[in-house]
């Protein structure tokens, strides 16, 4: 997979005003400028935030999908969509995201 390319696309959308204008006007054409797998392209164009999360796209950069309302992702559906990529945790119902735990190699 070329997760780097997805991260770069989302980074440029937020940080390069000219790129963002093109992305908002012609997203499909702009996607063609990146080396994306068909799975990545499908996840982006369908707004499958959870799938992108599972692929390893940086969560900070995923926020740009709703910030610029790309591919049908908006503030109202972002949390629901990203949760599709995570195991259910009842703390979601309380508005609390689970704490990330990092597994370290035991010597």
pTM of the model: 0.77
pLDDT digits (tens, 9 = 90+) for 87-98: 766 666 666 655
pLDDT digits (tens, 9 = 90+) for 9-35: 999 999 999 999 999 999 999 999 999
Phi-psi region of 84 (alpha: psi -120 to 50; beta: other; left: phi over 0): alpha
* pLDDT in the model for residue 63: 92
pLDDT digits (tens, 9 = 90+) for 44-97: 999 999 999 889 999 899 999 999 999 999 989 988 888 887 776 666 666 665
Cα 36 off chain centre by:
14
Q: List the CATH code of the domain at 3-88.
A: 1.10.700.10
Q: At 39, phi and psi to the nearest 5?
A: -65, -40
Residue 103 CB-half CA count within 13 A: 1
């Amino acid at each position: 997979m070329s997760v780097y390319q997805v991260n770069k696309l989302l980074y440029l959308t937020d940080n390069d005003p000219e790129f963002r204008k093109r992305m908002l006007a012609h997203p499909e054409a702009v996607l063609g400028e990146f080396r994306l797998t068909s799975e990545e392209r499908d996840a982006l164009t369908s707004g499958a935030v959870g799938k992108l999360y599972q692929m390893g796209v940086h969560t900070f950069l995923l926020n740009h999908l709703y910030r610029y309302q790309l591919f049908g992702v908006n503030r109202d559906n972002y949390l629901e969509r990203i949760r599709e990529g995570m195991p259910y945790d009842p703390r979601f119902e309380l508005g609390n995201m689970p704490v990330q735990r990092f597994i370290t190699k035991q010597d």
